[in-house]
Amino acid sequence: MLRGINVRVLGATVVGVGLVCAAWWLNTLNATAQNNPAVATGIVATRSGITVTDRNRDGIEDWKEPFLTASPVILSDDVGSSSRSGTLTERAGISLMERYLLSRASGSLGESDEALVGSVSSELAAQIQEQPYDRFDVIVSTIETPASIRDYANAAALAITSSEGSQMTHELLLLQKFVQTSSPDDAAALRAKADIYRRYRDQFLALPVPASLADEHLQLVNVFNVLANDIDAFTMVEADPIRSLIHLNRYEVSVEALAQGMKAMYDALEDNAPSFSANDPGLYFANFSDIQMPVATPTP
């Protein structure tokens, strides 16, 4: 008895669920048909491309014709040269950014900020180094006598002292004024100062030097050349400030090297002191000796 009832109940349940599902499906289909007539009529929309025509039969589709030009396009053969940057300041910015990104990508193995800046500074300083003059660039005399040494010292001293009066203002004072004014006249004054050191250099290169003084002579030639370039770079403080700064930092070393070169020349000449007279220009180098002049005691 119970078994028969369960079968009838189960059959009625299955039929009821089927009727509900059929009703729901028909209702959904009817709503879709109302919103999309193409589905209701059995029509399926398709896409087709635009017909390509070539009415003048020149091989170019009609739609391309308006974009064509009657004049031929001629590309210049001069494509120029590729350059990362023009100034040392621009190269500094690029190098610093590249190294910074590489350092950060390396994580804990990357450079510290201080080391990174130091590395870039060293790279830039190396870029301003001049090719030094060597013994092949100077005239070494085969005559080596006390008289020839005295004559050389007199000529070398005159080469320096004859130009000193033409520009007495110190180059750092000229730089300070130029930074304040940006005046072309002040820039010209700096270049004139640089030209003085170039004149020293050129006169020393043209001056025959006894072999015993060739090293000291060559040292001064190179210092004059470096100082000239340092002072010239001061005029680029606006156009290339990093270059000016690097040369300014080197300038302090260059000035010290000049003092050392003058003293080295004096030391090399010292053994020939008896051949000099009181009026010889070569005594100029004695200003760079280690001898300290006594300080006069003021009278009460």
| Nearest CA among 169, 290, 289, 171 for reference residue 235 | 171
| Nearest CA among 95, 92, 217 for reference residue 152 | 217
Please state, rounded to an integer, the average pLDDT across all residues of the chain.
77
Position 70 confidence tier, pLDDT thresholds 50, 70, 90? low
- Tens of pLDDT, residue by residue over 9-53, are 444 444 454 544 455 555 555 555 555 554 444 444 455 556 778
Long-range contacts from 23-27, C-beta under 8 angstroms, 24+ separation: none
DSSP string across 152-180: HHHHHHHHHHHHHTT--S-HHHHHHHHHH
Residue 29: its pLDDT value, please? 52
User: DSSP character for 207?
Assistant: S
Handedness of CA 213, 219, 220, 221 (dihedral sign): positive
- Tens of pLDDT, residue by residue over 217-261, are 999 999 999 999 999 999 998 888 888 888 898 999 999 999 999
Distance CA(268)–CA(286), nearest Å, equals 11
Distance CA(1)–CA(166), nearest Å, equals 136
Residue 10: its pLDDT value, please? 43
Residue 1: its pLDDT value, please? 41
Q: Is there a contact between 255 and 103 (Cβ–Cβ < 8 Å)?
A: no
For 210, the 3-state DSSP assignment is: strand
Helix-, strand-, coil-residue percentages of the chain, each rounded to 5: 65, 0, 30
- pTM score above 0.75: no
Q: Which two tokens stand for residue 275?
A: 């051949």
pLDDT score of 186 more than 50: yes
Long-range contacts from 82-87, C-beta under 8 angstroms, 24+ separation: 87/239, 87/240, 87/242, 87/243
Residue 4: its pLDDT value, please? 44
